[in-house]
């Protein structure tokens, strides 16, 4: 919900239109980075030591109207909720940017959330009636604080993923992902699509967002995160999260009228739509020119079988937004679920089984440590070495590379 004065927004808009035609995209991004970097101490990462102005820029080639929508989205994304504006009763943080912060607004952080459930004979129960599977760590009153219930025997941490380029990922046609699943693959690699019902349309779609491919559209993810990370109800999720499953407590401590994200009757849109706009129009991580070492690493990536899952390039379909219309997407993921053996997080969610994980997109890798779903890997090398299950054959080939070849592969990954 909006609590800030419209003055801030007005100033931002003036700046946007003032510089839009004069400055290159990168400088625009740099400006935005300065203007919007959250205050220190607000639970976010310290400012990056090197400036990477291009992370956080909008997609190139947006119209003035789309740039305005992007700016309005940034405003919503950085807005801190309060009890008065609907925060809680239980929540994980006060704004989207509190977690999605580095190296620019919309990025990642080492903040993890907790999932829990109970596994009996290999069958996972999310303990929905006890508030699972996502834990809300904080509450607006100690009396409603959620805890991991004693019957939970499966507890997993999930790291915050960066949001750069998600509009391009959203614009990849379902069929392109389906095709990838049907392709024959070497090294014992399979790969399944995740079919999910998109709450915003009721349609069955191919999931592409989240560690478990649990969402297909940015609007659905925005509404889900608004409720589950911040406790803001919307037209898609009009009911508050019940602390450890207690609907009585939820009602008792919910002081604001639901849905808290009100729809503007003139436009039919709420804050969740602005959040989706921001993510949809947020540019991809900038690719760096390949050094000679990185260039030598490129064929290695394919030769040792990384590209079987980490598909370097996909393509968006026809799109009414020109900047998303039939564009290349250098995401390094097949957007499929793979059985990663012991690396899997043990949580069944949506279409994903406990050991199945989304092939993590590798674009912008250099700006999003630590790695893997729980952040256990401080370096890219550690992340590769931890591959198991369907990733094991390729991992073993990586571990047999010479030190010089490993360096080349890592240099290649750092440029994407």
Name the residues that contact ligand HEC, by CB under 6 A.
92-93, 96, 98-100, 111, 113, 158-161, 163, 166, 189, 209-212, 218, 221-222, 225-226, 229-230, 275, 279, 304-306, 308-310, 338, 340, 343, 357, 359-360, 362, 365, 368, 371-373, 380, 383-384, 387, 390-391, 394-395, 398
Q: Identify which of residues 249 and 360 has a Cβ nearer to ligand HEC in the complex.
A: 360
Region of 43 please: left (phi>0), alpha (psi -120 to 50) or beta.
Answer: left
How far is Cα 269 from Cα 150, in angstroms, rounded to an integer? Answer: 41
Q: Residue 229 Cβ, how far from ligand HEC at the closest point, in Å?
A: 4
Q: Identify which of residues 30 and 221 has a Cβ nearer to ligand HEC in the complex.
A: 221
How far is Cα 223 from Cα 47, in angstroms, rounded to an integer? Answer: 28
Q: Residue 230 Cβ, how far from ligand HEC at the closest point, in Å?
A: 6
How far is Cα 25 from Cα 57, in angstroms, rounded to an integer? Answer: 7
Q: Residue 27 Cβ, how far from ligand HEC at the closest point, in Å?
A: 26
Q: Identify which of residues 15 and 351 has a Cβ nearer to ligand HEC in the complex.
A: 351
Q: Residue 340 Cβ, how far from ligand HEC at the closest point, in Å?
A: 5
Task: Tell me if 333 sits within 8 A of 309, measured CB to CB.
Answer: yes
Q: Identify which of residues 118 and 406 has a Cβ nearer to ligand HEC in the complex.
A: 406
Q: Residue 6 Cβ, how far from ligand HEC at the closest point, in Å?
A: 20
Output the six-digit token pair for 399.
């571990």
Q: Identify which of residues 116 and 221 has a Cβ nearer to ligand HEC in the complex.
A: 221
Q: Identify which of residues 30 and 275 has a Cβ nearer to ligand HEC in the complex.
A: 275
The backbone torsions φ and ψ at residue 105, rounded to the nearest 5 degrees and listed phi first, read: -55, 130
Dihedral, 266, 267, 269, 275 alpha carbons, nearest 10? -130
Output the six-digit token pair for 60.
């190139």
Q: Residue 207 Cβ, how far from ligand HEC at the closest point, in Å?
A: 9
How far is Cα 70 from Cα 166, in angstroms, rounded to an integer? Answer: 13
Q: Identify which of residues 1 and 304 has a Cβ nearer to ligand HEC in the complex.
A: 304
Q: Residue 162 Cβ, how far from ligand HEC at the closest point, in Å?
A: 7
Task: Tell me if 73 sits within 8 A of 277, measured CB to CB.
Answer: yes
Q: Identify which of residues 30 and 231 has a Cβ nearer to ligand HEC in the complex.
A: 231
Q: Residue 130 Cβ, how far from ligand HEC at the closest point, in Å?
A: 19
Output the six-digit token pair for 280.
């949809």
Q: Identify which of residues 13 and 401 has a Cβ nearer to ligand HEC in the complex.
A: 401
Q: Which residues contact 182 (CB under 8 A, 6 or more apart)?
A: none
CA angle 356, 219, 366 (to 5 degrees): 55
The backbone torsions φ and ψ at residue 80, rounded to the nearest 5 degrees and listed phi first, read: -90, 125
Q: Residue 313 Cβ, how far from ligand HEC at the closest point, in Å?
A: 16
How far is Cα 171 from Cα 146, in angstroms, rounded to an integer? Answer: 37
**Of residues 33, 29, 69, 46, the one with CA closest to residue 283:** 29
**Of residues 321, 356, 408, the one with CA closest to residue 189:** 356
């Amino acid at each position: 919900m909006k609590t800030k004065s419209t003055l801030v927004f007005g100033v931002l808009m003036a700046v946007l239109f003032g510089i839009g035609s004069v400055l290159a995209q990168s400088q625009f991004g740099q400006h935005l980075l300065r203007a919007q970097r959250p205050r220190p101490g607000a639970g976010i990462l310290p400012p990056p030591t090197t400036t990477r102005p291009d992370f956080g820029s909008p997609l190139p080639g947006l119209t003035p109207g789309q740039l305005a929508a992007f700016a309005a989205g940034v405003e919503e994304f950085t807005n801190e909720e309060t009890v008065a504006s609907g925060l809680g009763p239980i929540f994980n943080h006060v704004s989207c940017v509190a977690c999605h912060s580095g190296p620019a607004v919309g990025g990642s952080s080492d903040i993890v959330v907790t999932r829990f459930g109970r596994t009996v004979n290999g069958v996972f129960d999310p303990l929905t009636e006890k508030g699972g599977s996502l834990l809300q760590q904080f509450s607006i009153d100690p009396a409603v604080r959620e805890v991991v219930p004693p019957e939970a025997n499966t507890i997993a941490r999930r790291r915050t993923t960066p949001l750069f380029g998600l509009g391009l990922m959203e614009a990849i046609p379902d069929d392109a992902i389906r095709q990838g699943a049907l392709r024959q693959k070497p090294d014992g690699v399979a790969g399944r699509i995740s079919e999910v019902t998109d709450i915003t349309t009721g349609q069955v779609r191919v999931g592409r967002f989240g560690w478990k491919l649990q969402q297909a559209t940015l609007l659905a993810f925005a509404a889900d995160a608004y409720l589950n990370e911040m406790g803001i109800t919307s037209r898609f999720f009009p009911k508050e999260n019940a602390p450890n499953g207690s609907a009585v407590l939820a009602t008792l401590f919910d002081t604001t009228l639901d849905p808290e994200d009100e729809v503007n009757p003139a436009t039919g849109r709420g804050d969740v739509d602005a959040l989706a706009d921001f993510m949809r129009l947020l540019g991809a991580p900038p690719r760096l020119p390949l050094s000679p070492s990185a260039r030598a690493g490129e064929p290695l990536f394919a030769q040792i079988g990384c590209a079987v899952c980490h598909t370097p390039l996909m393509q968006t379909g026809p799109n009414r937004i020109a900047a998303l219309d039939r564009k290349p997407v250098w995401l390094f993921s097949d957007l499929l679920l793979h059985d990663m053996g012991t690396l899997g997080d043990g949580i069944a969610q949506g279409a994903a089984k406990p050991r199945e994980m989304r092939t993590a997109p590798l674009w912008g890798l250099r700006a999003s440590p630590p790695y893997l779903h729980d952040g256990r890997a401080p370096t890219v090398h550690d992340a590769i070495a931890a591959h198991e299950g369907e990733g094991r054959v390729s991992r073993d080939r990586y571990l047999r590379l010479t030190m010089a070849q490993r360096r080349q592969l890592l240099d290649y990954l750092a440029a994407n």
